[in-house]
Amino acid sequence: MQKNDVIELTITDIGVDGAGIGKYNGMAFFVKDTVIGDVITAKITKLKKHYGYARLMEIKEASPKRVEPRCMYARACGGCQLQQMSYESQLEFKEQKIKGNLVRLGGFSQEEIDDVTEPIVGMEYPFEYRNKAQFPVGYDKEGNVVTGFYAGRTHNIIANTNCPLGVRENQEILEAVLSYMREEQVSAYEESTGKGLIRHILIRYGFDSKELMACIIINGKALPKERALVEKLKKIPGMKSISLNVNMKNTNVILGEETRTLWGADTITDRLYLRDVRDFSRTKTSTVYKISPQSFYQVNPLQTEKLYSLALDYAGLTGKETVWDLYCGIGTISLFMAPRAKKVYGVEIVPQAVCDARENARLNGIDNVEFFVGKAEEVLPEFYGKGSASGGTDASESMEDMKDMRHPDVIVVDPPRKGCDGKCIDTMIKMRPERIVYVSCDSATLARDLRALVDGGYEVRRMRGVDQFGMTVHTEVACCLQRKDL
Ligand code: SAH
């Protein structure tokens, strides 16, 4: 067996990154764009000692789980991995992935996990769900300005203004910017040379408010014929905010620090509704959020409502509880919990997000929340230590508040993919809250952290996947832990 050999495989399994797995001569081969049950031919692209990679050549027998991808760029584009799989099979894959990670990496038994897991919550319609997209701008082979998505593992742009995961409004905005660039001869930024002007187009859409934001990220201070662009964009129904963001650094980071509004408002707003967790129908209770180009805001608002309603249910609040919301971002979870708690303390590392969180609290008339800027693994131990060392007399909080902060009833965490820092987990265990609600976007690090919490005296009571990212391999999961001695 060697590289470039074409082999026939039956796909019998799927890896964590969504590639199908088939065995040939006892060796496992990973083949992208395949589905369990497919019989295929594939060309070997890489051989390792015990496994290899191969490229799909022909589907000889299609699996019943296979569907026709909706987007013609599904295979080449780096955005989606699972479009060839029916949505039902995607959910099945995600549930198995979560459980598999908890067993393999967390050392839990399959039975323990099966006992506490509730069925994954899917989307009603797994397309057009993203409220935010950042489109790189560049040139095609003929030298025309184009915008779209990067091909997998590269920075080559696949020209496509109509990504099916985004809202339909994206297309009109992107076409307006491209036609302005052609008419006014405005250049696109080129990573290789660091020359050219327009780098990215950022679009955000309020699903509830129907408000649109367009932000043009440029390698310069201003646009030529700025008004010509504004005239085109402001005509688009729903347009509320048009801005420029300056990023003159040679970096992969999309946004620079300086943003200037060209037309309309600096921000758009959106509203998230509390859902009834029995059937995930919307209740009348809702929270509004102001969103700026830089704000972190969950990209799938309909599923976020389900996820946070579930987190709130897991928190089991009665109105008397003190809650820490770690990794709180713009305070989304904090503001969901505050009306049902005595007090909520949020911790977030990005100062601007904390400003947004405070502003969002005011906007909703919520006054029993307080936000701290800093790392969860530093802020939490600091408060825990403070109480025992100085009795909290040097802080603005009263003795009573300090006691509640050191021994909260509930701690909620929603960390980035790398999970919680060990110091954060240790302090959570020392604080001995009755319940811990863990919202995770990576079940591998969740497995590691749950193991530490369980070894520290907690038990996993309930767990449920919520699919926020249809067609991709990513998924969110909410988890409820309770102190074992209760
Ligand atoms: N719960 C929020 C945000 C979740 S995303 C929401 O739904 O809107 C994770 C957040 O953790 C991000 O806002 C990120 O800036 C923040 N973060 C990352 N590392 C952190 C750390 N060590 N301590 C505190 N916050 C951190």
- The residue whose C-alpha atom lies closest to atom 22 belonging to ligand 1 is 375
| Domain 271-483, CATH homologous superfamily name and number | Vaccinia Virus protein VP39 (3.40.50.150)
The angle at the Cα of 172, spanning 169 to 174, to the nearest 5 degrees, equals 105
The pLDDT score that the predictor gives to residue 123 is 97
Q: How confident is the model at residue 395 (pLDDT cuts 50, 70, 90)?
A: low
Question: Residue 387: is its pLDDT beyond 70?
Answer: no
What is the DSSP code string of 139-162? E-TTS-EEEEEEBTTS-PEEE-S-
**How close is the Cα of 374 to the center of ligand 1, in Å?**
10
Q: By percentage, how much of the chain surpasses pLDDT 90?
A: 89
Residue (of 346, 426, 437) closest to 384 by Cα position: 426
CB-ligand 1 contact for 376 (6 Å cutoff): yes
Q: Determine the atom of ligand 1 nearest the C-alpha atom of 308.
A: 7
**How close is the Cα of 255 to the center of ligand 1, in Å?**
18
Q: Are the beta carbons of 167 and 130 closer than 8 angstroms?
A: yes
- CATH 2.102.10.10 is held by the domain 132-265: no
Q: Are the beta carbons of 399 and 425 closer than 8 angstroms?
A: no
CB-ligand 1 contact for 414 (6 Å cutoff): yes
CB-ligand 1 contact for 353 (6 Å cutoff): yes
CB-ligand 1 contact for 327 (6 Å cutoff): yes
423: number of Cβ within 10 Å: 14
Where are the CATH 2.40.50.140 domain residues in the chain? 6-66
pTM confidence score: 0.93
The pLDDT score that the predictor gives to residue 294 is 86
pLDDT, tens digit, 9 for 90 and up, residues 200-216: 999 999 999 999 999 99
**How close is the Cα of 86 to the center of ligand 1, in Å?**
32
Q: Are the beta carbons of 411 and 458 closer than 8 angstroms?
A: no
β-bridge mates for residue 290, sequence order: 269
The pLDDT score that the predictor gives to residue 247 is 97
- In the residue annotation, 71 being an active-site residue is answered as no
For residue 80, give the 3-state DSSP assignment: coil
**How close is the Cα of 424 to the center of ligand 1, in Å?**
13
CB-ligand 1 contact for 347 (6 Å cutoff): yes
**How close is the Cα of 330 to the center of ligand 1, in Å?**
9
- The CA distance from 67 to 83, in Å, is 8
pLDDT, tens digit, 9 for 90 and up, residues 321-368: 999 999 999 999 999 999 999 999 999 999 989 999 999 999 999 999
The pLDDT score that the predictor gives to residue 31 is 96
Q: Which residue has the higher pLDDT, 75 or 121?
A: 121
- The CA distance from 83 to 469, in Å, is 12
Instruction: Tally the residues of the chain.
Output: 486
- The residue whose C-alpha atom lies closest to atom 1 belonging to ligand 1 is 328
- The CA distance from 173 to 165, in Å, is 16
Overall fold of domain 6-66: OB fold (Dihydrolipoamide Acetyltransferase, E2P) (2.40.50)
Where are the CATH 2.40.50.1070 domain residues in the chain? 132-265
Tokens standing for residue 312: 């709130």
Q: Which of 71, 163, 355, 441 is catalytic?
A: 441
Query: What DSSP designation does 187 have?
Result: P
Where are the CATH 3.40.50.150 domain residues in the chain? 271-483
pLDDT, tens digit, 9 for 90 and up, residues 245-273: 999 999 989 999 999 999 999 999 999 99
Tokens standing for residue 478: 């909410």
What values do phi and psi take at 252, rounded to 5? -80, -15
Sign of the torsion formed by the C-alpha atoms of 110, 113, 114 and 119: negative
